Amino acid sequence: MSMTEEAPTVDDDNPRSFREFFARSLGVSERRKEELYIEILRSASLRDVSFWLQVVFSAGTATLGLILNSVAVIIGAMLISPLMGPILASGLALATGDLFLAVRAVFNLLLSCLVAVAFALLLVFVLPFKEMTAEISSRTHPNTLDLVVALFSGAVGSIAICKEVKGVVTSIPGVAIAVALMPPLCVTGYGLGIALGVNTAEGMRVATGGGLLFLTNLVAITFTAMVVFLLLHIDTPLVKEHVRVWRKRDHTSRKLRGVLRRLPKFERLKVVGSLPARLFLIVAMVLLLLVPLTKSLVKLRTEIAQQQRVNRVRQAALEVWQQNFARTRDGAERAYVGNMEVSERAGKISLLIRVFTSSPYTASEKTKYVRLLASALRVTTSTLALQLVEIPTTSSELLARTQEGRPEVESQAGRTTTPAPTVADSQSAMRQLVGAAVGTLPMPAPAQLANYEILLRPGAPLEVRLNYLSPREISADAQGVLAGNLRAQLADPEARISFAWIAAERELPAFGRNQSAVTDATGAALAPIAEALERNPTLRVRINTGADRNEPEGIARARAEAVAAHLTERWQIPVSRIEQATDGDAGRNLTLTLELTTEEAQTS
């Protein structure tokens, strides 16, 4: 019987088993099973150039979409979905116990993943910007829900692949978008790039999260594909016979068979274990994944519950303020709430309220506010910590702010109150508080503050990094004193304060005799200086070089101009932040000096 003949093994009117009934219900005939088996075999080939081009282009598109934070570009990468072929092949190999297909599928999948991750890593190194975007961050914390989505999507994808194409295909694109195989793989490459070039700990955290999401999708799709192929009974005797004939004609299959036959106990390996053993293997992998995924889901649920509690505290705090402290006794406007930051740690509720007021609040009024708020929240006053930042203003300015600023709305009790500030408002208030505290922080001479960076994450402690310029690193003891001082000013003992040293002067590889071009070694040495200039807009650089007595006239200036051109063209450093200087005593040496501009330190 040829491969194109229809096998008379199933009675269409009286299917003999559930598997036959399932195949008949989906319209999967014996002929379609043969075609599907061989299609999947072909998809697990290493010789298909178009497949590898799809892997590279899909990885490039996904990586750029993630870095640019473009949902449309990421969806485009999802639609290519080249990894579905080897993953479905793995599911078919587990369903049928096909050793040859298992070896081809696993090798193809591993090599495809390495190519995708390597290409994403290369793009991260080439691109000048490496900021974490929302699209990247959203793929670093997978949970149990992601596993459920992948199980459903994998089942639909397997069924859609098995059915014969009739009319317009609408399910495959949706499945490709739902399972999203390539983006998490590229997040892994991005994380490795950050770990190797910027921040090892943060990069590995991102890479681990992206890898876990990809592994979740991989295992879930493989499992559901295996179940669907088992239910369809795709490996009927007739299908196996036609697959055996096809393998005899296929060059890759013949070569693989020759290699595997040299292995000891090959005959025992021809069928990869019993069906229960194969099912146990894939189910065990799913259960193992549930451990970290469930932890992530519990953490997410805790963060959501904490945010809900914070929102309730913020609403109650605003209502108590509006009812008792926003106006004077005669009803005139007294204060306007600019920002309110609420945090809850270790059972303590901390409030940072920034108000514009025409008259300062007394200590007794602040105590009364804490007492009223504690009563409204049904907690003790000891659990509340209030920090009130008062900005003096005139009554007319206050009235203008109240009328033109945040609109008033009616509460359920009929009282007017101000809507809760947005996340952006809260973050803005915290940045202003940190800025005020950092501005008064005394740096030990000769260190100078160049910049400070703030990281705000829901449910996590405040993180502040101080970038300082100095000929030498600040001692650990001095860093501890500065960190304690800053925590005290912020009234946040759990704030994480770190320090990043920027060397004020750096010696770079000397120029070759009669040479003025920037070599690869010089360019590599310039990279950390350029990155410091990028991260700290308050810095400028002075290039100092010279020439030997017997070198051509003007070569010293040419060397300084070459270094300046490298910084402006390769790193887009503005010319206004670069100064060129030549020194007759410097010889062929190259020295770069960083110094602060007249601007104040900025934040990012």
Q: Give me the pLDDT at residue 211, please.
A: 92
The whole-chain average pLDDT of the chain stands at: 80
Q: In the listed set 455, 475, 503, which residue is the last one of a domain according to the structure?
A: 503
pLDDT at 235: 81
Which residue, 363, 395, 425, sits at the end of a domain?
Answer: 425
Examine the domain organization and report whether 488 and 368 are in the same domain. no
Task: Give the DSSP letter string of 401-431.
Answer: HHHHSSPPEE-TTS-EEPPPPPHHHHHHHHH
CB 543 within 8 A of CB 533: no
- Both structure tokens of 177: 């978008």
At residue 219, the pLDDT reads: 92
Q: Is the pTM of this model over 0.85?
A: no
Q: Which two tokens stand for residue 150?
A: 């992948």
* Structure tokens, 261: 């036959």
> Which pLDDT score, from 0 to 100, does residue 189 have?
92
For position 598, what pLDDT does the model report? Answer: 56
Residue 114, domain member (yes or no): yes
> What does the DSSP 8-state code read for residue 467?
E
Domain span holding position 572: 505-603
Q: Which residues, at least 6 apart from 381, have a Cβ–Cβ distance to it below 8 Å?
A: 370, 371, 374
Amino acid 250: pLDDT:
73
The reply to whether 439 and 496 lie within a common domain is: yes
Residue 548 corresponds to which amino acid?
A: D
In a domain, 474, yes or no: yes
Find the mean pLDDT for residues 79-100: 84
Residues 496 and 546 in one domain: no
Starting at the edge strand that comes first in sequence, how are the strands of the sheet with 448-455 ordered? Answer: 496-503, 463-470, 448-455, 602-603
Q: How far is CA 586 from CA 358, 471, 524, 547, 577, in A?
A: 62, 20, 21, 7, 22
In the block, residue with structure tokens 């002929």: 31
114 with 248, same domain?
yes
Residues pairing with 409 in the sheet: 417
- Tens digits of residue pLDDT in 350-370: 888 888 887 888 888 888 998
For 477-492, how does the pLDDT look when each residue is reduced to its tens digit (9 = 90+)?
788 888 888 887 777 7
Instruction: Say which CATH number the domain at 438 has.
Output: 3.30.300.70
513 assigned to some structural domain: yes
d(CA 580, CA 543): 5
pLDDT of residue 546: 87
Residue 130 sits in the same domain as residue 50 = yes
SS3 for 121-157 is HHHHHHCCCCCCCHHHHCCCCCCHHHHHHHHHHHHHH
Phi-psi region of 51 (alpha: psi -120 to 50; beta: other; left: phi over 0): alpha
CA distance 519 to 523: 6
Count of domains observed in the chain: 4
How many Å apart are CA 85 and CA 105, to the nearest integer? 9
Regarding whether 466 and 354 lie in a shared domain, the answer is no
Whether residue 542 sits in one domain with residue 463: no
pLDDT (tens digit per residue) in 161-197: 777 655 434 445 555 555 578 889 999 999 998 888 7
The DSSP code sequence of 478-528 is HHHHHHHHHHHHHT-TT-EEEEEEEESEEEEPPPPTT--S--HHHHHHHHH
One domain for residues 550 and 433: no
Q: How far apart are CA 176 and CA 491, in angstroms?
A: 49
pLDDT at 25: 77
| Strands of the 505-508 sheet, one edge to the other | 505-508, 590-596, 539-545, 578-582
- Summarize the confidence of residues 19-26 as an average pLDDT: 78
pLDDT in tens, 441-476: 888 888 888 888 888 776 678 889 999 999 888 888
CATH number, domain containing residue 522? 3.30.1330.60
Q: Is the pLDDT of residue 269 over 80?
A: no
Residues 312 and 248 in one domain: no
Residues 346 and 440 in one domain: no
Residue 5 lies in a domain: no
- Looking at the chain, the whole-number percentage of residues with pLDDT higher than 70 is 84
- Which tokens sit at 282? 């894939």
- Residue 460, in any domain of the structure: yes
Tell me the angle at which helices 71-80 and 49-68 cross, rounded to the nearest 10 degrees: 160
Helix (H, G, I), strand (E, B) or coil at 541: strand
Q: For 507, phi and psi rounded to 5 degrees?
A: -95, 125
CB-neighbour burial class of residue 534 (10 A; exposed 0-12, middle 13-18, buried 19+): middle
d(CA 315, CA 324) in angstroms, rounded, equals 14
Preceding omega of 446 cis (within 30 degrees of 0): yes
Reply yes or no on whether the pLDDT at 129 is more than 80: no
The full length of the chain comes to 604
More confident residue, 400 or 283: 283
Beta-bridge partner residues of 340? 353
CA distance 146 to 215: 11
What is the CB neighbour count within 10 angstroms for residue 11? 10
Q: What does the DSSP 8-state code read for residue 338?
A: E
Mode of pairing for the β-strands spanning 590-596 and 505-508: antiparallel
Q: What is the pLDDT of residue 198?
A: 75
pLDDT (0 to 100) of residue 100 = 81
Band of pLDDT at residue 513, cut at 50, 70 and 90? confident
Q: What percent of the chain has pLDDT over 90?
A: 11
CA separation for the pair 300, 72 (Å, rounded): 26
Backbone angles phi, psi at 8, to 5 degrees: -85, 50
- Tell me whether residue 2 is in a domain: no
Judge whether 292 lies within some domain: no
The answer on 431 and 516 residing in a single domain is no
Q: What local confidence, expressed as pLDDT, does residue 215 receive?
A: 92
Q: Which of 445, 479, 503 lies at the terminal end of a domain, its last residue?
A: 503
